[in-house]
Amino acid sequence: MARLRVALLGAGRLGAAHARTLAGLTEARLVSIADPRPEGRRLAESLDAKPVADPLEAIGDADVDAVVIVTPTATHADLIEEAARAGKAIFCEKPIALDVPTTERALATVERAGVPLQIGFQRRYDTGFAEAQRRVQAGEIGKVHLLRSVSHDPYPPSREYILGCGGQFVDMTIHDLDIARFVTGLEVESVSAFGSALGAQAQDFRDAGDWDTTVLNLRFRGGAIGSIVNSRQSGYGYDIHTDLLGDNGGLKVGYERYTPITRYSRAGATHDYVPYFPERFAQAYAAELVAFIHAVQEGRPVTPTGQDGLASLKIALAATESARRGGTPVGVE
């Protein structure tokens, strides 16, 4: 099968990781990297790809079959639409946009063009979450009653990031929401949330009308319930775990340690912690690209889709509204 020819748009931290993954795949060929900054050019040269300043040039390239969009969020929807009109297969980092109308407009364009669009909810490709989904769907724990999901970042992002990211629920909780939908196979009916900002950058979060810590209750259609707890600053590492409870016991996805080293001393036994998402989800970030490439090459549907991105965005926006209104429950359309 011919190698899929890919253009990468955006050479930031995650973009560079995606570029290296693509360069190492025998199923794909990294044709070009579009990023106007010097580091974009350097990355392209180190990987034998063509450096391009303008993403539209990469999208317009007839030798490109697919684009991987890792640019700033504000540009996602437009680039998706451009790529769709150019007939390219599209992989785009989450979120498509921070609001529903823009997201829906981009999805409509994709649908008209009939191109595949996969969203970068990489947790679905983590061996843990993928296995949990398989086991739940296979009925191992019976009907799901309860989901508990925790995501803690090690330290808060920059003030600039806080002001532009769309808020904790849209930017961070959305991963837990996608996993909640993916693993349980259930849709969310309503939410209620509390938020607080007491951490090191509390003022930045307050200036953004946002929170560094949130607790979110979910009601799923059919009666199951859930709880998602997020913090922007655990102070110890990147802590991601999800527990499910059903008719027949439960399942947990999550581990705590990073290297297989334990230190025994008078202080006790200490193991290190996964530092952050690149370390925790390295395997998943590679696997989602491989899955995208194989699906496109073989004409199979990609997953998660743009509709998955839209569904989680709607829940995240409802959670935001609930937290702003002091915990008043908000329905999800």
Q: Kindly tell me which of 59 and 183 has the beta carbon lying closer to its own copies.
A: 183
Nearest Cα to 110, choosing from 81, 134, 86, 135?
A: 81
Radius of gyration of the chain (CA): 20
Residues counted in the chain: 333
Q: Kindly tell me which of 260 and 301 has the beta carbon lying closer to its own copies.
A: 260
Q: Kindly tell me which of 62 and 269 has the beta carbon lying closer to its own copies.
A: 269
Closest approach, Cβ 301 to its own copies, in A, equals 25
Q: Kindly tell me which of 56 and 202 has the beta carbon lying closer to its own copies.
A: 202
Closest approach, Cβ 128 to its own copies, in A, equals 4
> Which residues share a beta bridge with 249?
246
Say which residues have a Cβ less than 8 Å from residue 65's Cβ, sequence separation at least 6: 4, 5, 6, 88, 89, 296
Q: Kindly tell me which of 45 and 63 has the beta carbon lying closer to its own copies.
A: 45
Closest approach, Cβ 189 to its own copies, in A, equals 10
Contact between 290 and 25 under an 8 Å Cβ cutoff? The reply is yes
Cis peptide before 260 (omega within 30 of 0): no
Q: Kindly tell me which of 190 and 303 has the beta carbon lying closer to its own copies.
A: 190
Token couple for 55: 């993403």
Residue carrying structure tokens 């775990």: 241
For residue 57, what is the enclosing H or E element?
Answer: helix 55-60
Cis peptide before 156 (omega within 30 of 0): no
Closest approach, Cβ 6 to its own copies, in A, equals 15
Closest approach, Cβ 233 to its own copies, in A, equals 8
Nearest Cα to 232, choosing from 273, 276, 192?
A: 276
Closest approach, Cβ 216 to its own copies, in A, equals 8
